[in-house]
Structure 1
């Protein structure tokens, strides 16, 4: 009851959306794990097969410069849920808990009369990766629940069914079973008057790369993989093999996107349902000689960001250049649904840009690593805290010692030529550094050593520099 009054107070002094319709559309968020923006056919990848997503992209608003401002699982998910940056919501590492008092996406939609559902990977609870998350505040406003905290075992993986604390097992490949459950949710809610918000959160194409069903793995010949030019020659064999598995997961998810869309059509929901397809971060997969995420390179920070908004709701399909960031998703969805944006939100509402009413002119995004951990916690791997900017043309990052990376992404799309230290680019570097300083000041980011933030939030670290998690 108290939470309801708090939300009501926040809404009463919130930023109002001014959109042309009072209709409350349904919303489906399709969230993949570690799917880089470059790994779709519509984005130009010569290897991968994604016909359903390509079709969705052709009918959607495509934020082709979208970034994951802190390219790690939990930080992105917390920003998606709160519309806040990592140093505000405090989830700047994996396996820590999002504040149960957060003004979250599920709570705000529920307070606005939506039925809310969550299926799949959660990774915001911090009580152990295979532990039961009970109904209530730890589920952040989601009512229907078929989820797990986190697992990378995609075949017969653990989940929990609503209030049942028994460990259950998804039958077969979990992305398939989760999608079937989502289709059941759509069917059950098709004729109800109240709108719904449904999050379908898949664990793939995150590693392990070679566990998709054989029908998908057999579609890719590792020897035929075309590598990005920034993959070192000595890594080519390993990367080709891993790419073939990564793409197999991606094509399996592509089929699931097709199933979801078919279900929307069959249930006559397609004309009043917004679809957001995105990912929490990318995967270097050998680019820059590295794997996975955290680092400020394009393959790590860039994510798909497709908003399918039916024409009846005012959607204006086509590319958008503005750099949407993780914290911008929540206010943009609220804007599209005519739900006031709480004052706790730090992100920008892109809904008018999505509807073709007003182009967003803000063309930069902050990128951050508060404290490197896990596979990127060793100095010999280049690990470092950083703050940076991604503009339409440039990527600039600074570590604790000063300027670190500067790339011209227009002339050097694979980021092979670091311009830091080159006299002819000193003026540009200085300008971007000044712009970054201004952004950090505006966002109250003092850019301290990572361990100071660890101490501030009281997070424990193990010997790998990672917050420990337990099954």
Structure 2
């Protein structure tokens, strides 16, 4: 293999859970201070329209790793196991001589049929995930899933390959960042000539919405300003404010640790040869439209932060990219930053040219992004349904600011986001917008065919019922 590894940049993914794009100070949220993320948005590339095409943890992560849509990635639903045959972004980096590591929440080992889920050793918080089920990652300090950020266990391999399980000290975000920084430092010392791809995946700001006391002390529920689309219903508003107080505290702790990582890269002399990609797997409704948590196709659920800092940045002129970067695009874009051709199995779009050069024409960007919820948790037997949508849907969001979503055999939502950013007026059944609905319906149908999906859309736009 003739690979000039010395000239390849390093890549770091910082992945957080359930952080919506609107919850950063540079996006105008008055409740939170995120100076380190704000700095990334200024001295890096800010994808202001990035989306989580499937706003649910496991399906997003399967697409993030494989570059394939959830219905084809082997991870269409909550607790679906990633196939051992899946080609992931880590495999691609390893083939090019990179060292790979995954630290933190995994959540694609799933409820495998060969596991006795009643056996406490297979509990998601402490389960040992064997090497062949790690998606090609070599170095490993991870857990399948956990919702207790002050009581978090990770497992790794001992000197002889034996299983090692230990509890993190303190708050998960801090402790996982410690592990990640230790790994980066060791890589720079042991093999300074070998590039690396490392993933830091933390559960916060996912519920239960808690953070260290110093962060929590800065936020009071009564002082939280809600988005305009949270309805004037006392119970919804009180709950949203109470949960958001902890949510914002957790985000500020994330921001602090992003700063730690970037500072350490500078100290080690790696900052000019390392891309840092910060993103979330989906958002959180927090009372908007009377909804909570994720899975929904509204803006608070599907819009995610996606910031990239790296060695190709030449000036401090703010670079905002309006691309609808989706979950399937993250892997091919990351590979593209390193000059690696994505494999044919990846369905996503490579946005790396828009990161490397700000002169790339906007007209070359895809016009829309595909939204889907193949399997809501309420449809899965044996699970306690999460709050959110209880039936499948498919949809699109367009670069010129339209959104159209359909349930099986029925239109559901249509918004003009340019005029109605808080989605207060559903135009799906408005007779004056039939022509626009036909146009968006045709675009959605093209996505379904292109991605080999089997979802059944409403009747054809050529039928009499669609004609104005």
TM-score range, shorter chain: 0.7 to 0.9
Task: Find the residue that maps to 2:426 and give its secondary structure.
Answer: coil
2-side partners of 1:265 and 1:291: how far apart?
Answer: 39
Deviation at 1:43, TM superposition (A): 1.1
Is 1:213 aligned with 2:212?
A: yes
Residue in structure 2 matched with residue 195 of structure 1 by the alignment:
195
Q: Indicate which of 68, 76, 84 corresponds to 1:100.
A: 84
Which aligned pairs between 1:159-170 and structure 2 lie closer than 5 A?
Answer: 159-162=154-157, 163-170=161-168
Task: Find the residue that maps to 1:161 and give its secondary structure.
Answer: strand
- Assess, with a 3 A threshold, how the Cα gap between structure 1 residues 205 and 295 changes in structure 2: closer, same or farther: same
Is 1:417 aligned with 2:397?
A: no
2-side partners of 1:255 and 1:358: how far apart?
Answer: 33
Task: Find the residue that maps to 1:183 and give its secondary structure.
Answer: helix
Between Structure 1 and Structure 2, how many residues are aligned? 430
Residue in structure 2 matched with residue 68 of structure 1 by the alignment:
52
- Assess, with a 3 A threshold, how the Cα gap between structure 1 residues 447 and 316 changes in structure 2: closer, same or farther: farther
- Assess, with a 3 A threshold, how the Cα gap between structure 1 residues 298 and 409 changes in structure 2: closer, same or farther: same
Is 1:123 aligned with 2:107?
A: yes
Residue in structure 2 matched with residue 459 of structure 1 by the alignment:
none
Residue in structure 2 matched with residue 358 of structure 1 by the alignment:
360
Residue in structure 2 matched with residue 463 of structure 1 by the alignment:
none
Which aligned pairs between 1:273-292 and structure 2 lie closer than 5 A?
Answer: 273-292=274-293
Deviates more, 1:275-284 or 1:396-405: 396-405
> Structure 1, residues 56-84: CA drift from partner, whole Å, max 9, x if none?
11111111111011111011111111111
Residue in structure 2 matched with residue 224 of structure 1 by the alignment:
223
- Assess, with a 3 A threshold, how the Cα gap between structure 1 residues 416 and 352 changes in structure 2: closer, same or farther: same
- Assess, with a 3 A threshold, how the Cα gap between structure 1 residues 440 and 316 changes in structure 2: closer, same or farther: farther
> Structure 1, residues 312-340: CA drift from partner, whole Å, max 9, x if none?
79998600111011000111111110112
2-side partners of 1:378 and 1:400: how far apart?
Answer: 20
> Structure 1, residues 10-59: CA drift from partner, whole Å, max 9, x if none?
xxxxxxxxxxx993000000000000000011111111111111111111
Deviation at 1:398, TM superposition (A): 0.8
Deviates more, 1:247-256 or 1:127-136: 127-136
Deviation at 1:248, TM superposition (A): 0.5
> Structure 1, residues 269-297: CA drift from partner, whole Å, max 9, x if none?
00000000000000001111111111100
Q: Indicate which of 438, 445, 463 corresponds to 1:430.
A: 438
Residue in structure 2 matched with residue 233 of structure 1 by the alignment:
232
Mapped contact 1:22–1:338 kept (Cα < 8 A)? no
Residue in structure 2 matched with residue 5 of structure 1 by the alignment:
none
- Please report the RMSD computed on the Cα atoms of aligned residues, expressed in angstroms: 2.3
2-side partners of 1:101 and 1:379: how far apart?
Answer: 29
Mapped contact 1:125–1:138 kept (Cα < 8 A)? yes
Residue in structure 2 matched with residue 268 of structure 1 by the alignment:
269
Deviation at 1:382, TM superposition (A): 5.5
2-side partners of 1:146 and 1:117: how far apart?
Answer: 8
Deviation at 1:104, TM superposition (A): 0.7
Mapped contact 1:23–1:337 kept (Cα < 8 A)? no
2-side partners of 1:125 and 1:131: how far apart?
Answer: 12
Deviation at 1:115, TM superposition (A): 0.5
Residue in structure 1 matched with residue 135 of structure 2 by the alignment:
140
1-side partners of 2:74 and 2:392: how far apart?
Answer: 16
Deviates more, 1:313-322 or 1:66-75: 313-322
Mapped contact 2:109–2:129 kept (Cα < 8 A)? no
2-side partners of 1:366 and 1:51: how far apart?
Answer: 32
Residue in structure 1 matched with residue 120 of structure 2 by the alignment:
none
- Assess, with a 3 A threshold, how the Cα gap between structure 1 residues 287 and 380 changes in structure 2: closer, same or farther: closer
2-side partners of 1:268 and 1:166: how far apart?
Answer: 32
Residue in structure 1 matched with residue 119 of structure 2 by the alignment:
none
2-side partners of 1:225 and 1:25: how far apart?
Answer: 41
Deviation at 1:164, TM superposition (A): 4.4
Which aligned pairs between 1:297-308 and structure 2 lie closer than 5 A?
Answer: 297-308=298-309
1-side partners of 2:300 and 2:392: how far apart?
Answer: 18
Runs (5+) with no aligned partner, structure 1: 1-7, 9-20, 450-471
Q: Indicate which of 24, 27, 45 corresponds to 2:29.
A: 45
> Structure 1, residues 347-385: CA drift from partner, whole Å, max 9, x if none?
011111211253342121000011221499989976221
Mapped contact 2:6–2:195 kept (Cα < 8 A)? no
Mapped contact 1:283–1:292 kept (Cα < 8 A)? yes
- Assess, with a 3 A threshold, how the Cα gap between structure 1 residues 110 and 365 changes in structure 2: closer, same or farther: same
> Structure 1, residues 409-451: CA drift from partner, whole Å, max 9, x if none?
11111111101111111111111011111121111112059xx
Residue in structure 1 matched with residue 180 of structure 2 by the alignment:
182
Residue in structure 1 matched with residue 93 of structure 2 by the alignment:
109
- Assess, with a 3 A threshold, how the Cα gap between structure 1 residues 244 and 390 changes in structure 2: closer, same or farther: same
Mapped contact 2:6–2:194 kept (Cα < 8 A)? no
Task: Find the residue that maps to 1:108 and give its secondary structure.
Answer: helix
Task: Find the residue that maps to 1:383 and give its secondary structure.
Answer: coil
- Give me the TM-score of the superposition, normalised by structure 2: 0.87
Is 1:151 aligned with 2:146?
A: yes
- Assess, with a 3 A threshold, how the Cα gap between structure 1 residues 433 and 114 changes in structure 2: closer, same or farther: same
1-side partners of 2:406 and 2:378: how far apart?
Answer: 21
Mapped contact 2:125–2:152 kept (Cα < 8 A)? no
Residue in structure 1 matched with residue 296 of structure 2 by the alignment:
295
Deviates more, 1:421-430 or 1:134-143: 134-143
- Assess, with a 3 A threshold, how the Cα gap between structure 1 residues 131 and 101 changes in structure 2: closer, same or farther: farther
Q: Indicate which of 373, 386, 394 corresponds to 1:387.
A: 394
1-side partners of 2:281 and 2:441: how far apart?
Answer: 27
Task: Find the residue that maps to 1:74 and give its secondary structure.
Answer: helix
